[in-house]
Structure 1
Amino acid sequence: MPPTDESTDAGTARATRADRGPGPAVRASTGSDPGASTDCEDTLDLRLSEELIALFAGDTGSRDGTEEGAAYGIPAGFPEGAAYGIPADPPEGAPDGDDLLDRVGGWGPATTPAGVFHLVPVRAGRDLALVHRWMNDPAVAEFWELAGPETVVEEHLLRQLDGDGRSVPCLGVLDGTPMSYWEIYRADLDPLARHYPARPHDTGVHLLIGGVADRGRGLGSTLLRAVADQVLDKRPACARVVAEPDLRNTPSVSAFLSGGFRFSAEVDLPGKRAALMIRDRALRDLL
């Protein structure tokens, strides 16, 4: 069962939508699909009614998102967008207004000590091969458990892409190079909420660093801090960012601690014992 954190520094029906291309793109670690076995747990085990979605989303005000490329988190004309080959047209199905995660794809760049960073929502047709390669790295596969043929990763991604928007799979693009995989998700709407005292709009993160050369040098901590701060900046209703790395994944737990998260508790989740990590809005300037 994949983690909601993953190997930050340790070493996260077929496609029919047009943006997936002709080819056949993380599973949060605590969800459960009533029709699936416990090792295929997923954040998307529940369909929300439109009324509930509207209730949870709330009225957070208007957002621009007008520039082409905003749906990818990279403004039009931004050099990193060109380096990654971001197309001019937003993906089919991009949200037109508020959604459960306040338009992750439109959050824009984060300036970090490591470079300019963007969260770019996954497109299966473009990104499946890359995410599949990362998931088959032994250091990643040990915790995400998504190694195997492309169809394994594809199904995991499509469960999110075809869901109600409570979990958004993204590539982390650093100075124009995709180098990490993220899942930004509504922890309060996730089965994780059964295992800790969740609060409305709690937002969860999963992360894996793709390249071996990027691991073990503090990059995970730097990006975790940047992304958590983006969540708190872009989601005013969210008071906490949470994660639940596997307790066995000591480098990942350390990365969260160095990234401004605090250890809250040990929790027993389906398939693992986890460290509940929290970054509080009220403490963000102290940690």
Structure 2
Amino acid sequence: MLFQNGNLKVRKLEKKDNYLIARWLSNPSVLEFYEGRDNPFDLDKVNKVFYDSEDDEFKCIVEFDGNEIGYIQFYQLDDETKKKYGYFDGNIYGTDQFIGEVEYWNRGIGTLLITSMVKFLIEHKKADRVVMDPQIRNARAIKCYQKCGFKKVKILPKNELHEGVYQDCWLIEYQL
């Protein structure tokens, strides 16, 4: 287990979790803001993207009340991404996440997850700031992140290809 905060646990992704990721990333409600409804995942795609890739992301499963409900990953920003975002130094981490079990939406769990992850990154990874780049149209997520202390920094125009259209995103940050 990476960390626990009350009923919330975050643990490292295991091979047996591939069926969960495939189920979540084939749900149109989840895909509306994460990956796109035109980009569903089957087991083969999950295995290739989440298990066979050689990236620097630390991939995790989110549990609440003993149930696996979502996914979160964190990573240290590389120099290219820092430059793109306008940062020149510092220990900066990024996160991406979703709650895959839609019955757990709008219950404050996302807020608990983000505040817990920020605390973990500051205390254990010595992060100076944590950043995310949600699509501007994802108002629910942005509201959650702002509740957790993130501030809007700037718009990243046409930052993410989503359902065939390049979407503008907010660069948001949590800074000590």
Distance 1:152 1:190 in 2: 28
The correspondence of residues 112-127 of structure 1 with structure 2, limited to 5 A, is 115-124=6-15, 126-127=16-17
Change (3 A) 1:190 1:217: farther
Change (3 A) 1:216 1:232: same
Q: What TM-score does the superposition give when structure 1 sets the normalisation length?
A: 0.54
Distance 2:79 2:68 in 1: 27
Question: What do the CA deviations read for 1:73-119 (whole angstroms, capped 9, x no partner)?
Answer: 2xxxxxxxxxxxxxxxxxxxxxxxxxxxxxxxxx432x2xxx33222
1:273 to 150, 168, 175: 168
Instruction: State the identity %.
Output: 21
Distance 2:131 2:52 in 1: 21
1:129 to 6, 16, 19: 19
1:204 to 89, 94, 104: 94
The structure showing larger relative contact order (alpha-carbon pairs under 8 Å, at least 6 residues apart) is 1
Q: Provide the residue aligned with 1:87 in structure 2.
A: none
**Any conservation in 1 of the 2:94–2:131 contact (CA below 8 Å)?**
yes
Structure 1, unmatched stretches of 5+, are 1-72, 74-106, 282-287
Change (3 A) 1:190 1:274: farther
* Range with greater deviation from structure 2 (115-124 or 249-258): 115-124
Q: Offset of 1:190 from its aligned partner?
A: 6.8
SS in 1 for 2:51: helix
Q: What TM-score does the superposition give when structure 2 sets the normalisation length?
A: 0.85
SS in 2 for 1:144: coil
Letter in 2 for 1:149: D
**Any conservation in 1 of the 2:12–2:61 contact (CA below 8 Å)?**
yes
Structure 2, unmatched stretches of 5+, are 162-166
Q: Which has the higher strand share?
A: 2
1:158 to 38, 45, 51: 51
Q: Name which one, 1 or 2, has greater alpha-carbon Rg.
A: 1
1:213 to 103, 126, 138: 103
